[in-house]
Structure 1
Amino acid sequence: MKYLLFIVIYSVLWCISILPFRLLYLLSDAVYFLVYKVVRYRVKTVRNNLELTFPNLSASERKSIEKKFYHHLCDLFLEMVKTITISQKELDQRFVFKNVELLKNYEQKEKSIILMLPHYGNWEWVIGLGKFLDFKGFGVYKKLKNKYFDKLFRDIRSRFNAELISTQETTGVIRENQNKGLYGVYLFLSDQTPLLRPNLHWESFMGIEVPVHMGAEALARKLDMNILYLQIDKVKRGHYKVTFSEITNDIKNEPKYRPTRVFLDKVEEQIKAVPEYYFWTHKRWKHKDHKDQFKTK
C-alpha cells in the first residue's frame, strides 16, 4: 500500500517538475490561494511567531510579511519539486554562488568543513554547490519514516555530487572519513528546535530565550573542523545568490558557545533585513517558557 501511494504521488510530482518555470509559478499562485486562503495552513503559528519576534511592527506590517511569506512558501515547495528534474544549467542560472573562493581557501587548510545554514530562502538548491567542491559534500538530514520517500529524498538531494547522511549517522560517518584521511564539507540546518531534555543550552534568538542545537559546534570541537556560514538571499522569484562567511577557523581556541552565537547573529541579521523568506511555519519558539526546567547546568 505504501509503495502504491508512493508511485502515485511520485508520478504527480514528476509531472509537475517538468513544467517550465513560468507555468510552475502560475501553479504556485493557485497553490497560494488554496494553502493560505482556504486551508489556512499553520496561519496561527506564523502569526504568533511574527508577533513574538516583531512586536514593534504594526498589525498591518506583520500581515504584509505573512502574505509575502506564504507566496514564498508555495514557491519553495514547487522549487523543491522542480529539483527532481532540474538540469545543472538551470540550477547554475538560478542559484548563484558568489564567493566560492572563501570555501576553496578553507579546503586548502586540510580540515573538514561544517557549513551552518538556516531555513531561509531555498536551502534545497544548495545541492548545486557540489560542482565547486574538491572535498566530498554531505548533507545532514532527518530520516523519513516512509522508506520509499526517504530514498526519493536522498536521490534528489544527491544528484549533484553530494551525499545525504541521517542525523544518527553523522558522527560515525565523519569520524570514519577522518580516519581514512578523507575531508568533507558537511551541511547543517542548525536553526531547528531541539527536543526538550535536561541540560539544553539556551540562547537569545530574535530577542527570545530558546534552546538551541549544539550538534555542529560540538562535532567541530570533537573532530577539529572549521565552520562557515552559508547565506542564501532571494534576488527575485526563482533566483537566489549564496555567499559564505567565517564562523571560526580555530575551533580549539574558541570560547564555548561562541560559534553557535555567531551563527544565530547571522541568521537574525538576515531575518530582520527581509523577514518573509524565513520558514515561519516552524514552531521555533514553542519552548520559550521552559528554560528553568531544562537549562544547562
Structure 2
Amino acid sequence: MRPKLVVDYLVYLIVRIFICVVQATALSVCARASKFLAWLANDVLKIRGKLVDQNLKHAFPDLTADQRHKLARRSWYHLCLMVCEIAHAPRKLHDTNWHKSIQMHDIHVQIEQALGRRPVVVLLGHFGNFELMGYCTGLLGFPTYTVARPLDNPFLHKYLEEFRSATGQIILPKQGSAPYIEKVLEQNGTLALLCDQNAGPKGCWVEFMNRPASYHKAISVFSMTSGAPVVFLYMRRIGGPMQFEMGVEGIYDPARDGAKGVKEVTQWYNDMLERVVRRDPEQYWWVHNRWKDDRPATKRRKEQEKKEAARVAQAA
C-alpha cells in the first residue's frame, strides 16, 4: 500500500472514531462541548482569525471589533454543532419523526415545483446545516441530483457519499458530469447545487456582502437552457441542537419572470443568499475565503470604476 493511502486510512480511522464518540454522546452534551471548542478555535488557537475578522469587517462595517469577535465565536459554535448534528442524523432523523426537528416555511412552493413537469434547479449556500438539507429532502420523498467535488481522501469520500446518498440523494462528480446533468434536466429531475463556491478569475463576478465574488456561470446556464425554475432553499437552526427551519427564500422562474442573462441570474441568487445570511450571520461559513480575488489588477480596477459609475448614475 502506498504511503499516502496509509496516511489517508489512518485519518479515516481517526475521523470514524471521533464520529462514534459523538454518536454515543447526547446532543445536549455535544452542544456544550461545541461552545468550548468554539472558544478554543476562536479565542485561543485563533484559526483563520484574520480571515474571519476581515470577512466580517467587510460584510458588517458597523460592527465593533468586540462585536465581530463574538460573532466569529458564535460562527465557530455553529460549525462544531453542525458536525455533531450530521453525525447524529442517521439515528435521529427518520421518515416518521422528521417533523419533530424540522419546521417548514413556504416549502409547499418547492413541492409544487418538484411535482411539476419541468426540471428544477435548487440552490443552497454554505449556510445553516446545508448538509442535512439533501438528507432531509430525500426523507420527504424528493431525491435530488447533487454535484460535489470528491474529497482528496478516498476513504472519507466514500463514507461521506454513503451518508449523502442514504435517503436517495444522488451524487454527481464535479468533473465530467455535464452529460449526466443534461440528462437529469431533460427528464425533469431536480438538480441541487451549492451556489457560493469560488469560480476563479474567469467566473461571473457579482456583488455579495459588499464585495465582488466569483461564481460558476453554469448554474445560470442550466436554468437558461432548460427553462428550469431556480429555487433558493435554506435550512437554518432556530433553537437547540437538531431544530431547524427549512424554507424557500425565493424563486426565479424564466417562464414567469422573463429571460435573464447569466449575470442577472447570478446576482439574483446572491441577493437571496445575502438575505438569509444577514438574518442569521452566525450560521454562515466565515472561515471560507469566499472573496478571493485573483483577477489581474487592471481588470479589478476597471470593474471598480464601472461599479462607481453605475452608482453615480443611479444617484443622479
Which TM-score band applies after superposition, normalised by the shorter structure?
Answer: 0.7 to 0.9
The one-letter amino acid paired with 2:106 is: N
After TM superposition, the structure 1 = structure 2 runs for residues 34-113 of structure 1, keeping only pairs within 5 Å, are 34-83=40-89, 85-88=91-94, 91-113=98-120
Pairwise CA RMSD: 2.5
Contact 2:200 2:294 in 1 (8 A): no
Question: Which of residues 149, 158, 172 in structure 1 aligns to 2:156?
Answer: 149
**1:269 maps to 2:272:** no
Residue aligned with 1:83, SS: helix
Q: List per-residue Cα deviations over 1:79-116 (Å, max 9, x = no partner).
A: 23333544315654223333332122113431111111
Q: CA deviation at 1:144?
A: 0.8
The one-letter amino acid paired with 1:260 is: T
TM-score where L is the length of structure 1 = 0.87
**Number of the residue aligned with 2:251:** 247
Moved more, 216-225 or 154-163: 216-225
**Percentage of matched positions with identical amino acids:** 19
Query: Kindly tell me: are residues 217 and 273 of structure 1, through their superposed partners in 2, closer, same or farther at Cα, counting changes over 3 Å?
Result: same
The one-letter amino acid paired with 1:71 is: Y
**Which stretches in structure 1 are left out of the alignment for 5+ residues?**
none
Contact 1:117 1:187 in 2 (8 A): yes
Residue aligned with 2:230, SS: strand
Q: CA deviation at 1:243?
A: 0.9
**Number of the residue aligned with 2:210:** 207
Q: List per-residue Cα deviations over 1:49-107 (Å, max 9, x = no partner).
A: 01112112222222221222122222122223333544315654223333332122113
Question: Which of residues 182, 189, 192 in structure 2 aligns to 1:187?
Answer: 192
The one-letter amino acid paired with 1:101 is: H
Q: CA deviation at 1:157?
A: 1.1
Residue aligned with 2:216, SS: coil
Q: CA deviation at 1:185?
A: 1.6
**Number of the residue aligned with 2:309:** none
2:294 and 2:150 map into 1 onto residues whose CA distance is 26
Q: CA deviation at 1:275?
A: 1.4
TM-score where L is the length of structure 2 = 0.83
The one-letter amino acid paired with 1:195 is: G
1:7 and 1:68 map into 2 onto residues whose CA distance is 29
Q: List per-residue Cα deviations over 1:248-292 (Å, max 9, x = no partner).
A: 222694220222211111111222222111110011112177574
Residue aligned with 2:128, SS: coil
Contact 1:247 1:262 in 2 (8 A): no
1:292 and 1:255 map into 2 onto residues whose CA distance is 28
**1:258 maps to 2:264:** yes
| Number of matched pairs | 291
**Larger C-alpha radius of gyration, 1 or 2?**
2
Query: Kindly tell me: are residues 149 and 90 of structure 1, through their superposed partners in 2, closer, same or farther at Cα, counting changes over 3 Å?
Result: farther
